[in-house]
């Protein structure tokens, strides 16, 4: 272990060193709080921006709805006129249909009456035909008797002949009349059948026209209700527009206020970060001047381990186990299927051999020590302590906590630890424990030098 410089006791310098360490603790704690506030402020600003966009969208949508409501009102008004006209026509058509149906029904009834009359005429005509037959027979008998009477019956024979001719004509006329009556009867019967069919169709049409009339009545009422609702929509969109117009200035004012606050927080955060750097400088300067704090043993241990690691790397180059170029390789090749992403370099296998014997004992150096691991100048941590080098699972949360080897930690603390060339660097940071809980930690690092080249740093993390 590297021996600490033998400085005379300087109570005031020791007090300054302790005060600087405590100041750093408080500043980091404040910085962590500002981190949360800044994140929340940005989230609020983003939410407000989304709200403003939403308000604009609502205003645009409301305008569109208002326009649609206006168009709907106009369209409904035209539709109402069309429906009213159609209803008028349908009602008129229904009236006409009922008149036609009544006429057809009357025609059917009249056809029945005509049919009965024709039957009577046919009966009478048959009687006439029968009488003409009897007259014809009598005429024949008269002619026979007139012939027997000789000259005395000659005049009677002429009359009998005339009567015979008349009876024949009467018979022929009766036969013709019978034929015509039969034809007329058939026509009347067919007309009656057709009239009955038309009457049934007319009745169905009247029934449908009544239903259509009811449907049109309901349609008229529906169109009237729709027109009224369209008017209500227009009135409501007017109210929404008025509310949005009144709300917009307040929303913009809140956005401006949050933007100013966020900017102030960012500036404060930047100043606090500079205070952290200054407090770290004070701690290092006081330690360099001989100020003693509770961190002194950890500083000595970290510097000793860093020197040992540099020596082990140098020896590996000398033995030909790796080239100097390979040891300083910065080509980070992703390891497939790892979440969070793990990467490999040319020197990973070598460091898996030489680093554990130099890093693992640090966990037993003091109960406060949480981990001890070397990182390169880019924050890449190739070989972690065994407890943080588990085999990855299909659980990103578990992997984040237990698979921390082969990963790049390029946050502020990780990069400063890897790039600092000062004899040591003591940083204070808040470690996220999950669930909104944080724990204050100290990150003590010492540079790792190999053949006068800065490879990175050894990080020794421990609690207060």
3-state helix/strand/coil string of 34-50: HHHHHHHHHHHHHHHHH
Q: What is the pLDDT of residue 266?
A: 66
Residue 424: which pLDDT band, with cuts at 50, 70 and 90?
very high
Residue 3 lies in a domain: no
Mean pLDDT, rounded, for 244-266: 70
| 105 pLDDT above the threshold of 50 | yes
In this structure, are 219 and 351 located in the same domain? no
The Cα 52–Cα 5 span in angstroms is 63
In this structure, are 183 and 93 located in the same domain? yes
Mean pLDDT, rounded, for 20-47: 68
Residue with the larger pLDDT of the pair 369 and 63: 369
Residue 385: which pLDDT band, with cuts at 50, 70 and 90?
very high
Residue 18 lies in a domain: no
Mean pLDDT, rounded, for 336-355: 97
In this structure, are 96 and 206 located in the same domain? yes
* Alpha carbon separation from 252 to 59, 255, 265, 287 (Å, rounded): 15, 5, 20, 52
pLDDT (tens digit per residue) in 177-215: 778 777 777 777 777 677 677 667 766 766 666 666 676
- Give the global pTM: 0.54
Mean pLDDT, rounded, for 302-329: 98
The Cα 101–Cα 207 span in angstroms is 11
Residue with the larger pLDDT of the pair 400 and 66: 400
Among 190, 213, 248, the domain boundary falls at: 248
Mean pLDDT, rounded, for 375-380: 98
Give the percent of the chain with pLDDT over 90: 33
Mean pLDDT, rounded, for 72-94: 69
In this structure, are 241 and 369 located in the same domain? no
Residue 359: which pLDDT band, with cuts at 50, 70 and 90?
very high
Q: What is the pLDDT of residue 6?
A: 47
Q: What is the pLDDT of residue 81?
A: 74
As given in the structure block, the two tokens for residue 254 are 């809140």
Q: Do 362 and 374 meet the contact criterion of CB atoms below 8 Å apart?
A: no
| 3 pLDDT above the threshold of 50 | no
Q: What is the pLDDT of residue 4?
A: 45
Q: Taking each helix axis from N to C terminus, what angle separates 154-288 and 11-149, rounded to the nearest 10 degrees?
A: 180
Choice among 260-264, 265-269, 417-421, 440-444 with the minimum mean pLDDT: 265-269
Residue 60: which pLDDT band, with cuts at 50, 70 and 90?
confident
CATH number at residue 174: 1.10.287.950
Q: What is the pLDDT of residue 96?
A: 66
| 440 pLDDT above the threshold of 50 | yes
| 5 pLDDT above the threshold of 50 | no
Judged by phi (left if over 0) then psi (alpha if -120 to 50, else beta), residue 306 lies in: alpha
Domain that holds residue 333: 294-463
Q: What is the pLDDT of residue 434?
A: 55
In this structure, are 195 and 319 located in the same domain? no
In this structure, are 117 and 187 located in the same domain? yes
Residue 192 lies in a domain: yes
pLDDT (tens digit per residue) in 270-292: 666 676 666 667 766 666 666 55
Residue 213, H or E segment: helix 154-288
Among 210, 228, 248, the domain boundary falls at: 248
In this structure, are 391 and 453 located in the same domain? yes
Number of structural domains found in the chain: 2
| 306 pLDDT above the threshold of 90 | yes
Residue 454 lies in a domain: yes
């Amino acid at each position: 272990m590297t021996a600490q410089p033998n400085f005379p006791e300087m109570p005031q310098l020791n007090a300054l060193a302790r005060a600087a360490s405590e100041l750093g603790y408080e500043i980091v704690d404040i910085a962590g709080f500002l981190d949360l506030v800044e994140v929340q402020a940005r989230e609020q600003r983003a939410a407000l921006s989304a709200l403003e966009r939403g308000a604009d969208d609502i205003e645009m949508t409301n305008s569109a709805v208002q326009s649609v409501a206006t168009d709907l009102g106009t369209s409904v008004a035209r539709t109402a006129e069309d429906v009213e006209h159609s209803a008028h026509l349908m009602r008129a058509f229904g009236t006409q249909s009922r008149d036609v149906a009544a006429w057809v029904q009357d025609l059917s009834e009249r056809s029945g009456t005509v049919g009965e009359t024709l039957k009577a005429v046919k009966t009478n005509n048959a009687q006439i035909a029968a009488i003409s037959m009897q007259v014809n027979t009598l005429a024949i008998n008269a002619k026979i008797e007139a012939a027997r009477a000789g000259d005395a019956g000659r005049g009677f024979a002429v009359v009998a002949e005339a009567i015979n001719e008349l009876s024949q004509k009467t018979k022929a006329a009766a036969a013709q009349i019978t034929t015509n009556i039969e034809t007329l009867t058939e026509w009347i019967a067919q007309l009656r059948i057709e009239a009955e069919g038309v009457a049934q169709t007319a009745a169905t049409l009247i029934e449908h026209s009544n239903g259509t009339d009811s449907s049109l009545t309901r349609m008229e009422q529906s169109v009237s209700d729709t027109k009224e609702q369209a008017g209500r929509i227009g009135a409501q969109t007017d109210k929404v527009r008025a509310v949005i117009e009144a709300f917009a200035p307040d929303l913009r004012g809140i956005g401006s206020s949050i933007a100013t606050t966020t900017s102030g927080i960012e500036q404060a955060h930047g100043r606090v970060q500079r205070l952290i750097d200054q407090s770290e400088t004070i701690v290092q300067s006081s330690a360099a001047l001989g100020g003693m704090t509770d961190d002194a043993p950890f500083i000595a241990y970290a510097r000793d381990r860093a020197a040992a690691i540099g020596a082990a790397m140098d020896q590996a180059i000398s033995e030909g186990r790796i080239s100097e170029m390979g040891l300083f390789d910065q080509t980070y090749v992703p390891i497939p299927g790892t979440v969070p992403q793990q990467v490999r370099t040319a020197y990973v296998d070598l460091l898996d051999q030489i680093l554990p014997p130099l890093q693992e004992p640090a966990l037993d150096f003091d109960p406060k020590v949480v981990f001890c691991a070397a990182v390169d100048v880019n924050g890449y941590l190739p070989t972690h302590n065994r407890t943080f080098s588990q085999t990855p699972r299909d659980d990103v949360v578990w992997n984040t906590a237990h698979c921390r080897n082969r990963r790049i930690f390029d946050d502020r603390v990780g990069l400063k630890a890897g790039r600092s060339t000062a004899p040591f660097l003591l940083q204070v940071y808040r470690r996220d424990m999950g669930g909104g809980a944080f724990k204050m930690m100290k990150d003590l690092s010492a540079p790792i030098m190999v053949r006068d080249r800065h490879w990175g740093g050894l990080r020794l993390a421990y609690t207060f």
